[in-house]
Amino acid sequence: MNETEIKFEEIGIEEKKILLDILGYEIGEAGIILDKETKKEHICPITETVVFIENASILPGSTVVINTSELSLAEYFTRFVEKQCE
């Protein structure tokens, strides 16, 4: 089994906004992340709920934006990272 090292960096709201802008997102009035083109709320692929800027994780090496919690991070690694290591 291959070992993959994952390092997390904590960034502030302003840095998140810049990164999200580059990835094609914007922040709505309520702090909800929106798709720039469609203006639809971004839905976390793990929790299936809207993602607020304050609780967003932008995962390294991807364009996946999820709600930050131990459960959602564990699910992300199970679904996406482990498949890449197979």
- Is 59 domain-assigned? yes
- pLDDT of the residue at 11: 87
Q: Is residue 74 part of a domain?
A: yes
Q: Give the model's pLDDT for residue 15.
A: 93
| List of residues 6+ apart from 24 with CB closer than 8 A | 35, 36, 37
Task: Report the chain (86 residues): mean pLDDT per 10 consecutive residues.
Answer: 67 92 94 97 93 89 79 80 59
Name beta bridge partners: 58: 65
Say how far apart CA 42 and CA 20 lie, in whole Å. 11
pLDDT in the model for residue 48: 94
Q: Has this prediction a pTM greater than 0.85?
A: no
Within-domain flag for 80: yes
36 is a domain residue: yes
Helix (H/G/I), strand (E/B), else coil: 43: strand
State the pLDDT at residue 73. 82
**Structural domains counted in the chain:** 1
Question: Does a structural domain hold residue 7?
Answer: no
Structural domain containing residue 62 = 13-85
Per the domain annotation, does 6 fall within a domain? no
Residue 4: its pLDDT value, please?
A: 63
Whether 4 is in a domain gets the answer: no
Report the pLDDT value the prediction gives residue 44, as an integer from 0 to 100. Answer: 92
Domain contains 1: no
44 closest CA partner among 76, 18, 81: 76
